[in-house]
């Protein structure tokens, strides 16, 4: 199955599931408050399949699987007979309407907790966050952060893995300092304050800890070929599996990273490789292929992968809990994602993060496909993240979103009367324009990353 088809299927499954959860939140609370739900639609456009329940709600699966909606009986939209007036949305109290509107985002947050609860019941394979090396002259190096030490906390918040560290560090974008606590081997915890004044972080090019000069401890990479891509420069030149790369143009190969750098800087340039094959030394002339990068520059490409030794056993662990503790961890992780999402929105507004980092449907589809390809745990984690993001975005005070409706209801609660329909209509138009602008920017960002 092609990558595009796999990404598309994963995207449709993810969005369809999360939208269903969101709309079910509105639907369930509306029913609890005795509001007649006329239609519950997953997707937009022409109905592919529909049915009607005993209470008169039409359930629809529509052709375009990029959203959904719940349509309730409302006197502001539909002509309502007097005997059905008590079943309309607008006849309910402000508090009831607020509960119905907020139920969608709340359902997304609860679903994220459920997903993470299940994930930690199954068990999450993980790697201890041990620092392999500190990049010279980096922010971490200037703060004195040592290598061969395990990170135990960020700003006093305990961490167990690199993902937790990434989330907490991203939250510090725009801050002046961050405190990192590490535990050296056979030593006690020590905290280091990193000066973030000159911190430059581009998530499209590097990891957040890499931007600070912190390189995770990884398995040893040998200068030995373990994979060769068909039709690559390596196959054309005659390189074979198991070949050990000793030198290039008579200069010793220090490590695989230095070899990669040399090859990338030599597109279409012949290189004389000194190799060892089955104990015999020999030389092979190899010309790296040239490929154009997103920035217009060309890089050399060999088409080989190195042999990587297994992870040391002492770095591997599984985060697995019983039902109660898994629920507690699920709530904690969901709250962390909610907090981070609102924090990122604030950083976009105040310019700490560029709009070029906004992601749209293409990036989400790629993320869904990649996580599904990795395995169930990765896909569950991805679903939880997107579910939280969907809930947070819907709480933004844009009139076209749930948050905008809540804003009008809060104003109604304060004023003692509804906001005029003219003011609401103007707000909806402005909200739609802003939302479409953001979606357009996100889509252009997606296309530029392809």
Does residue 290 contact residue 299 with C-beta atoms inside 8 Å? yes
Q: Please pick, among 23, 186, 235, 412, the residue that the annotation labels catalytic.
A: 23
Closest CA to 112 of 329, 298, 300: 329
Rounded CA separation 245/258 (Å): 12
Side-chain-side CA neighbours of 69 within 13 Å: the count stands at 11
Buried b (16+ CB within 10 A) or exposed e, 60-73: bbbeebeebbbbbb
Helix, strand, coil fractions of the chain, as percent rounded to 5: 45, 25, 30
- Catalytic residue at 23? yes
Buried b (16+ CB within 10 A) or exposed e, 272-298: ebbbeeeeeeeebebbbbeeeeeeeee
Which helix or strand (DSSP H or E) is residue 286 part of?
strand 280-286
End-to-end CA distance of the chain: 19
Sort strands 304-308 and 221-228 into parallel, antiparallel or unpaired.
Answer: antiparallel
Does residue 174 contact residue 347 with C-beta atoms inside 8 Å? yes
Does residue 304 contact residue 242 with C-beta atoms inside 8 Å? no
Instruction: Give catalytic residue positions.
Output: 23
């Amino acid at each position: 199955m092609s990558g595009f088809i796999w990404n598309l299927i994963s995207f449709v499954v993810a969005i369809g599931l999360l939208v269903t959860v969101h709309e079910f939140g509105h639907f369930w609370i509306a029913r609890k408050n005795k509001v007649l739900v006329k239609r519950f639609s997953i997707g937009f456009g022409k109905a592919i399949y529909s049915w009607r329940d005993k209470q008169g709600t039409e359930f629809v699966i529509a052709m375009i699987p990029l959203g959904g909606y719940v349509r309730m009986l409302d006197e502001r939209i539909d002509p309502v007979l007097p005997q059905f007036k008590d079943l309309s949305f607008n006849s309910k109290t402000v508090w009831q309407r607020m509960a119905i509107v907020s139920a969608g985002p709340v359902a997304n947050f609860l679903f994220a907790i459920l997903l993470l609860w299940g994930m930690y019941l199954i068990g999450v394979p993980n790697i201890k966050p041990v620092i392999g090396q500190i990049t010279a002259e980096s922010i971490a190096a200037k703060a004195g952060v040592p290598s061969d030490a395990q990170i135990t906390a960020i700003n006093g918040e305990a961490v167990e893995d690199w993902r937790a560290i990434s989330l907490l560090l991203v939250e510090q974008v725009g801050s002046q300092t961050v405190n990192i606590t590490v535990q050296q081997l056979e030593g006690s915890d020590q905290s280091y304050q990193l000066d973030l004044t000159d911190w430059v972080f581009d998530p499209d090019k590097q990891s957040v800890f890499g931007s600070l000069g912190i390189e995770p401890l990884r398995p040893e990479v040998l200068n030995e070929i373990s994979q060769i891509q068909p039709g690559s420069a390596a196959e054309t030149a005659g390189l074979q599996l198991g070949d050990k790369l000793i030198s290039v143009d008579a200069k010793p190969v220090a490590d695989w990273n230095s070899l990669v750098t040399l090859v990338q800087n030599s597109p279409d340039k012949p290189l004389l490789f000194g190799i060892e094959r089955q104990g015999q030394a020999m030389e092979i002339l190899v010309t790296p292929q040239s490929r154009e990068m997103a920035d217009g520059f060309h890089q050399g490409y060999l088409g080989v992968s190195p042999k990587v030794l297994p992870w040391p056993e002492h770095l591997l662990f599984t985060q697995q809990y019983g039902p109660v503790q898994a629920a507690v961890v699920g709530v904690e992780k969901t709250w962390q994602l909610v907090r981070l999402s609102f924090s990122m929105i604030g950083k976009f507004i105040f310019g700490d993060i560029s709009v070029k980092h906004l992601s749209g449907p293409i990036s989400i589809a790629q993320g869904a496909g990649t996580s599904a390809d990795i395995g169930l745990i990765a896909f569950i984690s991805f679903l939880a993240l997107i579910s939280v993001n969907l809930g947070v975005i819907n709480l933004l005070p844009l009139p076209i979103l749930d948050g905008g409706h809540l804003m009008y209801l809060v104003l109604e609660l304060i004023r003692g009367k509804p906001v005029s329909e003219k003011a609401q209509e103007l707000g909806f138009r402005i909200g739609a324009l802003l939302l479409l602008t953001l979606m357009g920017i996100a889509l252009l960002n997606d296309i530029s990353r392809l």
